[in-house]
């Protein structure tokens, strides 16, 4: 191995993680393998986790021949099996390569996480990723569990009849939702889930998965529509105690919020009757421009539109929308801009798709034509091999430009476009 090369990382049959300098670390995009180097590798950020990938063998690069090779077994224990290893990185970082692996026959789909390419050199782990946001609002090291517990007790005592309080308590304590924890700490973004239903069935929906899939949803979807008064009560409480508050509809534990637009509209009017302070945001699939227009009329300030692609058929193959298509999404963005709203795209990024030339060019056009204000880069939590199968792109050989280059290209084309991860605050 070259002196400055990064070594492959694998796990033994007990889950212990090792480096193996006999092969160089490798990344994967769209099922193809790539050499990893200092251009995209960064020291593994604090709060990252390493996952071993059952049913997947690590793939590395032979330093002599340059060929990519599957590690069939534990190189330190003859006859013992081994597994590929991936990194799950914290908010604010976007993956540039997925972990490189070969599936063994019959391997089940990976659960709903993002699987970054990991490497080892100089006594530490590295990951192929780019920093997109410096904001530390979801940094678990800054969230004190005992303060969250007292926040929960306080809110329960203050609002004993408000059904959102126990729901958010579950989000904070069981689902480990950073927004919910911060809400009980009285800071940043107050999540207000409202909709138990959705008009899409995303392949990687974290709040509802149909029976028969290999993996479960990771959160329990809200089972009731809160009253406008319940929403306004918590929203106003949060607005009063945070200097730059955000109240946010459309959370991981719900369906599509604009399907509860009647309730949300009433709630926003109740809030805005009392104060113009703070941002009121909706995270949405943007399928219902008319509903969005009503929410802006009531006092909504921000919208974050989630999408994996601006192109049919890739949008539909992932979102499986019922009764709308991606043209409605674009219309919603224009409606929001006409209403004076701040529009973010929650761009669900998968190395090899998001940084493919055709996707990037279409995305850049979409941003320019529709006057998008911000791109929030989210790692798509989905099996990085199955994703290309679901999209019908397995074996496709699209030209790739690279994730850092895709970010740079947007910055060059739109100097005022914000890049980041979190919803922006409104200065009051
Ligand atoms: S739009 Fe959101 S709630 Fe609806 S299926 Fe997709 S991820 Fe799930």
- Atom 6 of ligand 1, nearest CA residue: 202
**Helix locations, 54-144, DSSP H:** none
Tokens coding 189: 């973004």
- Atom 7 of ligand 1, nearest CA residue: 205
Mean pLDDT of the chain: 96
Q: Is 4 exposed, middle or buried (0-12, 13-18, 19+ CB in 10 A)?
A: exposed
pLDDT at position 137, please? 84
Distance CA 393, CA 32 (A): 12
326 with 345: CB under 8 angstroms?
A: no
Q: Which atom of ligand 1 approaches the CA of 208 most closely?
A: 8
Tokens coding 76: 């330190």
Distance CA 289, CA 333 (A): 8
Question: How much distance in Å is there from the Cα of 346 to the middle of ligand 1?
Answer: 13
Ligand 1 contact via 198 beta carbon (within 6 Å) = yes
pLDDT at position 213, please? 86
Question: How much distance in Å is there from the Cα of 164 to the middle of ligand 1?
Answer: 20
Q: Is 174 exposed, middle or buried (0-12, 13-18, 19+ CB in 10 A)?
A: exposed
Nearest to 183 by CA among 160, 204, 165, 201: 165
pLDDT at position 4, please? 83
Question: How much distance in Å is there from the Cα of 264 to the middle of ligand 1?
Answer: 18
The pLDDT confidence band at residue 427, using thresholds 50, 70 and 90, is low
Ligand 1 contact via 255 beta carbon (within 6 Å) = yes
- Atom 3 of ligand 1, nearest CA residue: 255
The pLDDT confidence band at residue 394, using thresholds 50, 70 and 90, is very high
CA-based end-to-end distance of the chain: 56
The pLDDT confidence band at residue 426, using thresholds 50, 70 and 90, is low
pLDDT at position 343, please? 97
Nearest to 137 by CA among 236, 271, 248, 256: 248
Ligand 1 contact via 233 beta carbon (within 6 Å) = no
Question: How much distance in Å is there from the Cα of 243 to the middle of ligand 1?
Answer: 31
pLDDT at position 12, please? 98
Residue 1, pLDDT > 80, answer no
Question: How much distance in Å is there from the Cα of 285 to the middle of ligand 1?
Answer: 7
Nearest to 249 by CA among 329, 331, 190: 190
226 with 263: CB under 8 angstroms?
A: yes
Backbone φ and ψ for 81, nearest 5 degrees, come out as -80, 170
Q: What is the DSSP letter of 116?
A: B
Q: Which atom of ligand 1 approaches the CA of 285 most closely?
A: 1
Angle at 264 between CA 263 and CA 269, to 5 degrees: 100
What is the percent of the chain with per-residue pLDDT over 90, rounded to a whole number? 90
Give tens-digit pLDDT for 29-54.
999 999 998 988 999 999 999 999 99
Give tens-digit pLDDT for 86-138.
999 999 999 999 999 999 999 999 999 999 999 999 999 999 999 999 988 88
Give tens-digit pLDDT for 266-290.
999 999 999 999 999 999 999 999 9
**Helix locations, 339-414, DSSP H:** 357-370, 386-390, 403-413
Question: How much distance in Å is there from the Cα of 284 to the middle of ligand 1?
Answer: 8
Distance CA 70, CA 36 (A): 16
Question: How much distance in Å is there from the Cα of 398 to the middle of ligand 1?
Answer: 27
Ligand 1 contact via 202 beta carbon (within 6 Å) = yes
372 with 310: CB under 8 angstroms?
A: no
Give tens-digit pLDDT for 213-255.
888 898 889 999 999 999 999 999 999 999 999 999 999 899 9
Ligand 1 contact via 316 beta carbon (within 6 Å) = no
Across residues 403-426, what is the average pLDDT?
94
Q: Is 16 exposed, middle or buried (0-12, 13-18, 19+ CB in 10 A)?
A: exposed
Ligand 1 contact via 200 beta carbon (within 6 Å) = yes
Across residues 418-426, what is the average pLDDT?
88
Question: How much distance in Å is there from the Cα of 199 to the middle of ligand 1?
Answer: 8
Number of H helices, E strands in the chain: 11, 21
Ligand 1 contact via 356 beta carbon (within 6 Å) = no
Ligand 1 contact via 102 beta carbon (within 6 Å) = no
Would you list the DSSP string of 275-293? ---SEEEEEE----HHHHH
For a ligand 1 pocket test, name from 112, 193, 200 the mutation site with the most ligand atoms within 8 angstroms of its C-beta: 200
Distance CA 404, CA 76 (A): 36
Q: Which atom of ligand 1 approaches the CA of 198 most closely?
A: 4
Residue 428, pLDDT > 60, answer no
pLDDT at position 33, please? 98
- Atom 8 of ligand 1, nearest CA residue: 205
pLDDT at position 89, please? 97
Question: How much distance in Å is there from the Cα of 252 to the middle of ligand 1?
Answer: 8
pLDDT at position 395, please? 87
pLDDT at position 135, please? 86
């Amino acid at each position: 191995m070259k002196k400055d090369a990064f070594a492959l990382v694998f796990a033994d049959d007990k889950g212990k993680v090792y480096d193996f300098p006999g092969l160089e670390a490798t990344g994967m995009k769209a099922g193809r393998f790539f050499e990893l180097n200092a251009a995209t590798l960064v020291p593994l950020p604090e709060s990252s986790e390493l996952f071993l990938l059952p049913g997947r063998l690590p793939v590395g690069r032979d330093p002599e021949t340059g060929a990519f090779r599957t590690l069939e077994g534990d190189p330190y224990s003859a006859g013992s099996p081994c597994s590929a290893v991936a990194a799950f990185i914290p908010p604010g970082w976007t993956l540039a390569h997925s972990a490189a692996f070969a599936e063994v026959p019959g391997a089940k789909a990976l659960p709903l996480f993002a699987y970054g390419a990991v490497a080892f050199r100089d006594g530490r782990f590295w990951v192929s990723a780019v920093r997109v946001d410096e904001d530390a609002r979801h940094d678990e090291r800054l969230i004190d569990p005992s303060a969250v517990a007292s926040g929960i007790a306080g809110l329960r005592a203050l609002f004993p009849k408000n059904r959102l309080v126990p729901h958010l308590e579950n989000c904070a304590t069981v689902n480990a939702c950073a927004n919910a924890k911060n809400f009980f700490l009285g800071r940043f973004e107050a999540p207000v889930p409202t909709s138990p239903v959705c008009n899409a069935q995303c392949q990687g929906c974290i709040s509802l998965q149909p029976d028969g899939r290999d993996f479960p949803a990771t959160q329990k979807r809200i089972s009731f529509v809160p009253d406008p008064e319940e929403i306004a009560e918590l929203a106003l409480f949060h607005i009063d105690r945070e200097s730059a508050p955000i109240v946010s509809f459309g959370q991981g534990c719900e369906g599509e919020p604009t399907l509860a637009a009647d309730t949300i509209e009433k709630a926003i009017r109740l809030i805005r009757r009392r104060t113009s302070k703070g941002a009121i945001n909706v995270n949405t699939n943007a399928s219902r421009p008319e509903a969005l227009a009503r929410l802006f009329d009531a006092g909504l300030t921000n919208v974050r539109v989630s999408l994996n692609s601006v192109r049919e058929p890739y949008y539909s193959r992932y979102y499986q929308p019922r009764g709308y298509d991606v043209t409605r999404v674009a219309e919603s963005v224009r409606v929001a801009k006409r209403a004076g709203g701040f529009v973010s795209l929650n761009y669900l990024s998968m190395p090899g798709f998001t940084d493919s030339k055709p996707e990037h060019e279409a995305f850049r056009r979409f941003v320019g034509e529709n006057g998008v204000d911000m791109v929030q880069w989210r790692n798509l939590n989905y099996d990085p091999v199955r994703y290309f199968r679901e999209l019908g792109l397995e074996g496709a050989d699209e030209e790739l430009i690279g994730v850092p280059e895709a970010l740079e290209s947007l910055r060059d084309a739109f100097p005022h476009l914000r890049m980041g991860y979190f919803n922006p605050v409104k200065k009051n």
